[in-house]
Copies of this chain bind each other. A is one copy, B any other.
Amino acid sequence: MSKYSAPVNDMNFLLFDVFKADKFWQGNAQLAESIDRETANAILQESAKVTEGVIAPNSRAADEEGVTWVDGKVTTPKGFKEAYNVVSEGGWVGLAGDPEYGGMGMPKMLSAMHEEMMCGADLGFSLYSGLTAGACVSIHAHASEELKNIYLPNMYAGTWTGSMCLTEAHAGTDLGLIKTKAVKNDDNSYNITGSKIFITGGDHDLTENIIHLVLAKLPGAPEGSRGISLFIVPKYNVNEDGSLGELNTLGCGSIEHKMGIHGSSTCVMNFDDAKGYLVGEENKGLACMFTMMNYERLFVGIQGLGASERSYQNALEYAIDRKQGKGAIKTADKKPQPIIVHPDVRRMLLNMKALNEGARAFNTYVAMQLDIAKFSDDADAVKTAYDKGQLLTPIAKAFVTDMGFDSCVAGQQVFGGHGYIREWGQEQLVRDCRITQIYEGTNGVQALDLIGRKVAMDNGHTANLLAKEVIEFAKQNEASFPDELAQLIAAVDLLSAVTVDVLKKASTNPDELGAASVEYLHLFGYVMFGYMWAKMMVSANSIDDKMLAQSKVKTGKYYFARVLPKIMSLKLQIESGADNLYQFELEDF
């Protein structure tokens, strides 16, 4: 696989030209202390150095070697331990962590960019630190001060990793069905017993301890998802002085053999009266876990983008190197030309580029909402940003990974037959990226979350706010790109009309929501990427880097001409309603 090049240039453009992050940071007391433009740029440069130089070089070999499980011991691929040490020693796990517990207190806008670089360098590897950061979010939000003091400093420091133990064999999407039990001890600890599957980083050889966040049920707890509690269950018990004690009564029962992310251990975890500590309140565990899940969902979107960016870089290099055919661009000699002259190769590359850069802008926009919600002192701004973050999280997870997967497939296609050969790495990116559409709530579940919880239950309020924001932006900047901005306004109007229409139909038939959900999420996603491209095009007009400016404007025009029109078909598919799905009896399938 080719060298990975972290897209630092584009990231700086997004932070400071498009989203004016420096102004936001300067205007906020808490952030102004810890971050400014120079620090941010230095962090991006350092992250690029680590991901390009230390992590990316392992990714191809790690895919071939995979994780092994021998005599109950999980071993990660060659080079992972050394690379992980660089990550933890660099303080990268605690980049966005609370400084009170040893974190660096950086905004999500910045840590999301670091995460993208990690995923672009090696998606499988990125999960060990990525999930740890996510687990910290949940512990920080819900655990007692005592637990926070024990666990957060070691997790931010990367000396301990975290895992999420949710799924059981019979309970995936429907966590209300879990059977893992928790019984309270006299010392306020709990004994946890049960078996969890698909546990990413459930066991490995990178760190001395692993902190599991485990969902379990207390005796007599209410049925379903209202009776779930969340526990910290460490692999090694922690003594009062902070040193590690005995191995807890838990272990890895086996590892899964998967399509991709071979460097990431996916474990069956067995808990046998393992000692655990309640996080938050009894029976409120699902809410505590969702704090982490929402964080993870944005991270999963970032994973999709990371893989897709890597695929684009490889494909572009190949398209310039590989010579086949005469192509549509005429030259005087008769020599074969680089395949980038062929229209379909250009189409594939430009789709990837337009979607990747749109996704990077969108992730940054969502991260900014999370930052405003977390750091702002203005209660109204906090509420609006929080709502927008909630609304857009399923899109950041599902739309970005759906586009990321399609782009990885396109990036493989550019290689022709070589794309199918493992050695070149393009097929690995397809296999790695594929999981992002599945885990942390399948993309179908995200679509239901968007249209049901985030739009219908909110009566379209936040979606309307967002539509207003986009139209206001478009009208203010109409003069600079009249065609594209008019198209954007029309796209927002179309989305709003579809929203009204679906909510109206759903008031008499709730199935209409589910029937529209996936196409609705895609429609929403394309419109949001249109907004992002409009913002980037307008910002490009006033930057010094003329080469970047020109590329942004051309790619934006490409997006409006060739990608955004996809919404017309989505609208028709949504309008076809629920009947075509529900006319089928079982025997008709």
CB within 8 Å of B: which residues of A?
A: 167, 170-174, 177, 197-198, 223-224, 256-260, 316, 320, 323-325, 328-329, 334, 336, 340, 342-350, 353, 405, 409, 412-413, 416-417, 419-423, 427, 430-431, 434-435, 437-439, 442-444, 447-448, 510-511, 514-515, 517-518, 547, 550-551, 554-555, 557-558, 561-562, 565-570, 572-573, 576, 578, 580-584, 586-589
Contact = CB atoms under 8 A, between A and B. Distances in A.
25 contacts: A167-B417, A172-B416, A177-B324, A258-B420, A258-B422, A320-B586, A328-B582, A343-B515, A343-B578, A344-B448, A344-B518, A346-B581, A346-B584, A347-B515, A350-B580, A350-B584, A350-B589, A413-B438, A413-B444, A416-B442, A547-B588, A555-B588, A557-B580, A557-B583, A558-B583
Given A259-B427, A442-B413, A551 B435 contact: no
A576 B562 contact: yes
Contacts of A405: 409
B565 A514 contact: no
Contact of A420 (B412, B434, B569, B581): B434
Nearest to A435: B420
A576 B561 contact: yes
B416 A350 contact: no
Nearest to A419: B438
Contacts of A342: 444, 514
Nearest to A316: B589
A123 to B, nearest CB: 13
A249 B551 CA distance: 54
A255 to B, nearest CB: 11
B581 A422 contact: no
B172 A444 contact: no
B554 A588 contact: yes
Nearest to A170: B323
Contacts of A566: 569, 573
A172 B258 contact: no
A550 B588 contact: yes
A198 B514 CA distance: 45
Contacts of A430: 259, 434
Contact of A581 (B223, B350, B551): B350
Given A172-B417, A413-B438, A565-B572, A517 B423 contact: no
A514 B344 contact: yes
Given A417-B439, A551-B588, A177 B580 contact: no
Nearest to A320: B586
A419 B260 CA distance: 12
A419 B197 CA distance: 14
10 nearest CB pairs, A to B: A343-B514, A344-B444, A565-B572, A259-B427, A569-B569, A174-B324, A561-B576, A561-B580, A551-B588, A174-B325
Contacts of A340: 586, 589
A572 B223 CA distance: 51
A344 B447 contact: yes
Contacts of A344: 444, 447-448, 514, 517-518
B416 A173 contact: yes
A350 B578 CA distance: 13
A329 to B, nearest CB: 8
A399 to B, nearest CB: 14
A546 to B, nearest CB: 11
A443 to B, nearest CB: 7
Contacts of A568: 568-569, 572
A408 B257 CA distance: 19
Contacts of A562: 573, 576, 580
A437 B434 CA distance: 18
A271 B172 CA distance: 54
A431 B517 CA distance: 28
Contacts of A419: 438
A320 B586 CA distance: 9
A343 B581 contact: yes
Contacts of A257: 421-423
Contacts of A448: 344
Given A328-B514, A422-B257, A578-B343, A336 B177 contact: yes
A431 B259 contact: yes
A437 B421 contact: no
Contacts of A258: 420-422, 427
A413 B437 contact: yes
A484 to B, nearest CB: 12
A443 B412 CA distance: 12
Nearest to A353: B589
A423 B268 CA distance: 15
Contacts of A510: 328
Interface centre among A346, A347, A587 (most CB of B within 10 A): A347
Given A344-B518, A444-B345, A584-B554, A325 B589 contact: no
Nearest to A563: B573
B557 A565 contact: no
A564 to B, nearest CB: 9
Nearest to A344: B444
Contacts of A171: 324
A144 B177 CA distance: 70
Nearest to A259: B427
Contacts of A197: 417
A221 to B, nearest CB: 16
